[in-house]
Structure 1
Amino acid sequence: MERNPQLTCHLRGCRGSPRGFRRAEPMRSEGKTLRWHIHDLAVRWGWEIRRWPHPATYEAALAAVLRARDVNCVIDVGANRGQFGLLIRRLGYRGRIVSVEPGSEALAVLRALSAADGDWIAVHMALGADPGKATLGVASSDDLSSLRPLAPLAKSYFPEAAQSVRTEDVTVSTLDSRFDEFVSGLAAPRVFLKIDTQGYDLEVLKGARGVLPTVQVVQVEVSFFPLYEDVPPWYAAISWCEAHGFGLYGLFPVLRDPGGQLVEADAILVRVAAQDVRRGSRVETGGGSGVQAHESNIRPSPC
């Protein structure tokens, strides 16, 4: 499920520009700064003003790891309408983006976005463990479309958005077989592999075994209460990545149920030495910066 970019702004819950308030010289008023008065007024109205992206947020972690790993190619599998590509551009990433999307309507929007960008490629296909054909179930909200059937839980959470409207026959390839095409022209590819395929992430990883040494960062979506049928347990993709040389950088909530339980989260993993992860020692992320192997100790630098 793609994140809503409207929620990533200074004023929590606002729909304004993510640029928000700029740092300014403090103006004094009876011993207190103007900034303090504005903040106090906002709190009284139930708002919070903060620098974007806040150091503890998903956006800040994403920006930090893109910089630290010197990523020059982002492969976005399950790109939908390009939300992730727009986000990383807004965070300052200027390298190549390869967006892979099987849905025809979402692809049309994605292609329009990528056409206006000098280094953004939209590819019409699905990726999985093996090449072949598959059926894409298209939901009324196409960011819920999947190669797996929707589970009853999804329909209870999203009674309108999760309605199945049609199916599409799609071509399935593997990242191993398409990787050279995706990174063509890059002398030394340093890849961020982002996967958001609504229950199919582990299959995509299995089809990428041969190219993983070039991948510096992996992002997968994990479901604690599966919204699709026949999906592996939430820890399966994380365990698979750890077995292939990655360590957990952080877990970032995407969806909670009305009672507050975590339903889905994005997991970011970075390539690390296995012994460092197991000891919980400081793990180098490149560029002279590091993060702790445990999520609670992650302190990415703000943009």
Structure 2
Amino acid sequence: MIKFIQDTLYKMGLIVKLVRPDNNLWLQNRGIKTVLDIGANTGQFANLIQKVLPQASIISFEPIKKCYDELLVNTKNINVKAFNCALGDVEEQQEINISAHTPSSSLLNMADLHTEVFAGTNFVEKEIISIKRLDDVFPDLKINGKFMVKVDVQGFEDRVIKGGVETLKKADSVLIETSFVELYKDQLLFDGIYQLLIGLGFEFKGNYTQTKNKEDGSILYAESFFTNTK
């Protein structure tokens, strides 16, 4: 039934990622106390991970004001602290492309393949947002104990890593969206993200979920899980 619902919404241009709590003992056993939710959108991941790790606090980052406002409403009953900014490798103000399907919004331009395989995700407006570096904001977060970093920023993942090198070295694990084909122009694909994280002392443990092209079955992108070996 879950797969049917996902497939039906996918045909409508909606991408739905579901976490199944009964299959997450391996993650629960890691003793994670805090989750950094980078690219929070309207709180979908925060609400899902709260069910998996109910004792963990969640710190969310979402740059688009409308999505941030919805995030606050959608997470008001769980332990979430939210910031209205993006994370990258340089602190600056930049224009973000907002998609008709807001989870597809990106600081990068959309590649043709994206609109071909995901109908209804074209960019419809722009907004000036604030970008900060993870290494700069991390000290003020006052995190104690093990923490996991989740990154879902539509092609901007390598910039988040480069702006958070010292923070990531302290993380227990990283759950990051990785693409195998170019969905956003100039994005770093899986191999590049893999090399960056391996260079920081992480080990690739596999793909938590992956999304395929409905036309030919090829894998487009995945949520890849890495653990810190240091």
**TM tier, shorter chain?**
0.7 to 0.9
Q: Which secondary structure does the structure 2 equivalent of 1:247 belong to?
A: strand
Partner of 2:9: none
> Over residues 49-95 of structure 1, what are the superposed CA-to-partner deviations in whole Å (9 max), with x where a residue is unaligned?
xxx5564xxxx3xx522x23211110010011111111111224321
> Over residues 245-293 of structure 1, what are the superposed CA-to-partner deviations in whole Å (9 max), with x where a residue is unaligned?
11011113432112110001111000115xxxxxxxxxxxxxxxxxxxx
Partner of 2:47: 86
Partner of 2:13: none
**Equivalent AA in structure 1 for residue 228 of structure 2:** R
Distance 2:60 2:193 in 1: 21
Partners of 1:191 and 1:216 within 8 A in 2:
yes
Partners of 2:47 and 2:75 within 8 A in 1:
no
Q: Which secondary structure does the structure 2 equivalent of 1:238 belong to?
A: helix
Any runs of at least 4 consecutive aligned residues in structure 1 with deviations exceeding 4 A, and if so which?
52-55
User: Given the superposition, is the C-alpha separation of residues 69 and 54 from structure 1 closer, same or farther in structure 2, using an over 3 Å criterion?
Assistant: closer
Does structure 1 residue 137 correspond to structure 2 residue 97? yes
Partners of 2:150 and 2:174 within 8 A in 1:
yes
Does structure 1 residue 201 correspond to structure 2 residue 157? yes
> Over residues 141-172 of structure 1, what are the superposed CA-to-partner deviations in whole Å (9 max), with x where a residue is unaligned?
00000000111111111232x22111000111
| 1:14 to partner: Cα distance | 5.2
Aligned residues: 216
Does structure 1 residue 121 correspond to structure 2 residue 78? no
- Unaligned stretches of 5+ in structure 2? 7-19
**Equivalent AA in structure 2 for residue 137 of structure 1:** N
Partners of 1:114 and 1:122 within 8 A in 2:
no
Partner of 1:164: 123
**Equivalent AA in structure 1 for residue 69 of structure 2:** A
Distance 1:205 1:228 in 2: 17
Partner of 2:134: 175
Does structure 1 residue 64 correspond to structure 2 residue 26? yes
Match of 1:237 among 185, 193, 196: 193
Instruction: Give the aligned CA root-mean-square deviation in angstroms.
Output: 1.8
Partner of 1:149: 109
Structure number with larger C-alpha Rg: 1
Please report the TM-score for the alignment, with normalisation by the length of structure 1. 0.67
